[in-house]
Amino acid sequence: MRGKLRITMGKKIGAMIVAMAVILCAIALFVSYRTYKGRTTEFYTQLAHNAAATLASQLTPEELDHYYETLEMDERYYEIQAFIKDMVANNNVEYLYVVRPHDIGVTFLFDSDMETGENGDYTSGGYCALGTYVDLAGEFAENLDRLLDGEEVDPIVQKDPSYGWLMTAMAPVCYENGAMAGYVMADVSMNDVVQEQQHFLLYTGSLLAALTLGFTLVYLVIIRRSFIQPVEQLTQAALKYEGGEGNKVFRQVEIRNNQELKSLADAFRMMLVEINLNSMEQQELAVREQRLEGELQLARALNVSLLPKALPVHKGGYPFDVQGYLEQGQELACCFYDYFLMDGERLCVLIGEVPGHGTPEVIYTVMAQATIKSQIRSGQPLAAAMTAANQQLYEVGSGLSIQVLAGVLEWATGSFSYINAGLRSPLLMRSQEYYEWGRDVSYAPLGQSEHVLYRVEKLELRQGDRLLFHTMGLDEIQDRDGVPFAQEQLRITLNEKNNRLGDLDMQLRSLNAAAGAYAGRTASIGGYALMALEYRRRDKAQAHCALTPDAAGSTALTGFLRGQLEANGIQGRQMAQMMVLGDELFMLCRRRAPQDGRIMAECAMPPGEDLAILRFRGDFGGLSPLEQLEETTAEHAVAFIKMHCDRVLFEHTESVDSITVVKRLVLDTQKERGQFV
């Protein structure tokens, strides 16, 4: 936009130079005046102080006390007075006198101005005769306390209405113990000195002002010709340039007196050329970005297609739970998780990642997933299927490979067989305890080498056991110190109480949030996949279930206990007692557990023993649910539990609280005993 600048750069620079010159001139004048004044004042101060000290050396404290108390003159008094007049005449001292400070003033003992009276003595000789008292004023009054104490007092310079400017130096006459007997004061006229100082200030100030004005004018002329005028030319050329239509304006700018500004003008001309080239490049880049955006949308659609479909409805539910989570991150994720059913009672799980973040990698991921699923569904053993998939992917991979873990869960037995091809070992949690790293053999990724024979690793899962799988994208997340999240923080996060006791979906989301917080702002998070598997098949000797501390949890507990008791042949009165016992104990635990927490219920019936063991684990605040009760209903529940149980045990650890009750089953009829056995 064209426009006129209210304050040009030339005016600003000129104002700055003038201001700097004035400041430097004022500083120079101040320093020189202070130096001159200090030296002249120091000379006269020394003169007055020497005169006062010389006279003080001729006096004794006893003499001054005598004259102060008697006010009588003797031969010695006249000798001292004559000595004072002689010093005044020969030492350029205006006045020399001896006084005795007391009260708020001084009494004169000797004075160079004293004259003899008609009777020939000094007592009647005028204003400052022996015994004359004068109140102190000005700076003398301010130093009265120091004078009374006999201390040294700095020379005082002040203007007297009658005598003009005077400097007074003072020398005390004291006893050896410090008691003051009087002061010798010497006055030196400062009228000529003050006048000389004023003349020095005037002449020096005028000279500095003239020199400053002259140098400022010369400097302004030089600055304007060598800097301000070239800058104004560049400014006007820049204001006239509109969208590249005024390139000729810059070609007309000629700068000769300043090499730096000449280089700047040449740089402006080159910049205009680069702007034109950059404009064309931006147009080409916009077209390219549109094409890449279309490819990216297609790749994302392919990535979403890798996610598994929901499992068909199964009567009575599945004896397992499987959940996955895909984080696409800041770039295109080339990872997936998948699960599907095989032969009615087998579950196959897949999780994998192709290194890289481009469209070819995503397409390869889709192809690799389809190849692996096809080989596994062909009916071959898992090792043979993975070996065949590896050979097939190697032939078409063009240097790409996929890190994948494939596993098969047998519903009936809990046997889990898997092959790890390039990923980290899965994390295993046994019976709601703690997650630990598994120990297995990690083979080469599929498609990396054709000469790989894969072998199966096996785990025997029991009810409540959990497995966590993740791709290598999670290992790439690091903190500010470069420590990977999966090195230790992954296991710590999984072993938090809510993650161990909560459902799988909540666990995976919590893990994803923890990974994002761990990375902070140190780097962008790439894509990764998570998958969790929990085995839930019930064992009649020992089974458990996770409950919410609410009415829904009570309903779930009733169904859980009924199924467990029926599986062990417990019916009738024994079942009723166990159902009531579990309900009352769960009610007490609910009172202590947080609303968003989880309570793990466990029911065990050891084979060959007439015992039923019921345990609830959760966060109970470190206190037994059977203690510190305030309601009558709760107290009745505690009494019922203690009356019908053979043993009650509460345990508190840093990770979880647990309360366990043991009840011995007494069967009333042969029929019940037979059913139980």
Helix (H, G, I), strand (E, B) or coil at 189: strand
Is residue 338 domain-shared with residue 467, that is, in the same domain?
Answer: yes
- Rounded to the nearest 5°, which phi and psi values hold at 675? -65, -40
Percent of the chain residues topping a pLDDT of 90: 21
Q: Give DSSP secondary structure letters for 264-290.
A: HHHHHHHHHHHHHHHHHHHHHHHHHHH
Helix (H, G, I), strand (E, B) or coil at 659: strand
Q: Has residue 453 been placed in a domain? A: yes
CA dist., res. 153 & res. 155, Å (int)? 7
Q: Has residue 253 been placed in a domain? A: no
Is residue 529 domain-shared with residue 551, that is, in the same domain?
Answer: no
84 near 114, Cβ under 8 Å? no
Tell me which DSSP letter residue 478 carries. Answer: B
CA dist., res. 135 & res. 180, Å (int)? 18
Secondary element (H or E) of residue 107: strand 105-111
Look at residues 379, 387, 369 and name the one whose alpha carbon lies nearest to residue 443.
387
Give per-residue pLDDT as tens, 182-226. 999 988 887 777 777 777 888 888 888 888 888 788 877 777 776
Q: Has residue 235 been placed in a domain? A: no
522 near 456, Cβ under 8 Å? no
Give per-residue pLDDT as tens, 381-395. 999 999 999 999 998
Using pLDDT thresholds of 50, 70 and 90, give the confidence band for residue 667: low
Is residue 565 domain-shared with residue 652, that is, in the same domain?
Answer: yes
CATH assignment of the domain containing 324: 3.60.40.10
Please tell me the number of Cα atoms within 13 Å of 345 on its side-chain side: 8
- Rounded to the nearest 5°, which phi and psi values hold at 383? -65, -45
Give per-residue pLDDT as tens, 471-501. 988 888 888 888 888 888 888 898 887 787 7
Using pLDDT thresholds of 50, 70 and 90, give the confidence band for residue 455: very high
Is residue 446 domain-shared with residue 554, that is, in the same domain?
Answer: no
Q: Has residue 584 been placed in a domain? A: yes
Q: Has residue 91 been placed in a domain? A: yes
596 near 548, Cβ under 8 Å? no
462 near 431, Cβ under 8 Å? yes
> Looking at residues 640-661, what average pLDDT do you find?
89
Look at residues 198, 203, 205 and name the one whose alpha carbon lies nearest to residue 25.
205
Which of 196, 211, 233 finishes a domain? 196
CATH assignment of the domain containing 658: 3.30.565.10
Using pLDDT thresholds of 50, 70 and 90, give the confidence band for residue 673: very low
Is residue 443 domain-shared with residue 560, that is, in the same domain?
Answer: no
Is residue 576 domain-shared with residue 493, that is, in the same domain?
Answer: no
Using pLDDT thresholds of 50, 70 and 90, give the confidence band for residue 137: confident
- Asked whether the predicted pLDDT for residue 180 surpasses 80, the reply is yes
Secondary element (H or E) of residue 183: strand 180-189
Q: Has residue 335 been placed in a domain? A: yes
CA torsion sign for 541, 546, 551, 555 is negative
Give per-residue pLDDT as tens, 294-338. 655 665 666 666 678 888 887 777 888 999 998 876 666 688 999
Is residue 618 domain-shared with residue 508, that is, in the same domain?
Answer: no
Q: Has residue 73 been placed in a domain? A: yes
- Rounded to the nearest 5°, which phi and psi values hold at 134? -135, 135
Per the prediction, the chain carries an average pLDDT of 82
- Asked whether the predicted pLDDT for residue 132 surpasses 90, the reply is no
Which of 491, 514, 535 finishes a domain? 535
Q: How many domains does the chain have?
A: 3
Is residue 574 domain-shared with residue 521, that is, in the same domain?
Answer: no
- Position 28 scores a pLDDT of 83
- Rounded to the nearest 5°, which phi and psi values hold at 666? -115, 110
Q: Is 28 exposed, middle or buried (0-12, 13-18, 19+ CB in 10 A)?
A: middle
Residue with tokens 């305030």: 630
- Position 328 scores a pLDDT of 76
| Predicted TM-score of the model (pTM) | 0.50
Is residue 523 domain-shared with residue 547, that is, in the same domain?
Answer: no
- Asked whether the predicted pLDDT for residue 263 surpasses 70, the reply is no
Secondary element (H or E) of residue 428: strand 427-429
Which of 135, 162, 196 finishes a domain? 196
Q: Has residue 241 been placed in a domain? A: no
Q: Which domain holds residue 522?
A: 306-535
CA dist., res. 399 & res. 502, Å (int)? 42
- Asked whether the predicted pLDDT for residue 427 surpasses 80, the reply is yes
Q: Crossing angle, helix 75-90 and helix 9-57, to 10 degrees?
A: 150
- Asked whether the predicted pLDDT for residue 10 surpasses 80, the reply is no
Q: Give DSSP secondary structure letters for 587-640.
A: HHHHHHS-TT--EEEEEE--TTS-EEEEEEEE--TTS-TTSS--SHHHHHHHHH
CATH assignment of the domain containing 86: 3.30.450.20
Q: Crossing angle, helix 9-57 and helix 191-223, to 10 degrees?
A: 160
Q: 391-398, long-range: CB within 8 Å, 24+ apart, which pairs?
A: 391/450, 393/367, 393/368, 393/446, 393/447, 394/446, 394/447, 394/448, 394/449, 394/450, 395/450, 396/367, 397/364, 397/447
Using pLDDT thresholds of 50, 70 and 90, give the confidence band for residue 677: very low
Helix (H, G, I), strand (E, B) or coil at 252: coil
Region for residue 482 given its phi and psi (left: phi exceeds 0; alpha: psi -120 to 50; beta: otherwise):
left
- Position 568 scores a pLDDT of 85
Is residue 510 domain-shared with residue 640, that is, in the same domain?
Answer: no
Is residue 513 domain-shared with residue 654, that is, in the same domain?
Answer: no
- Position 371 scores a pLDDT of 92
Residue with tokens 């590896």: 390
Look at residues 374, 370, 380, 386 and name the one whose alpha carbon lies nearest to residue 453.
386
Is residue 530 domain-shared with residue 546, that is, in the same domain?
Answer: no
The alpha carbon of 303 is separated from its chain's Cα centroid by a whole number of angstroms, namely 38
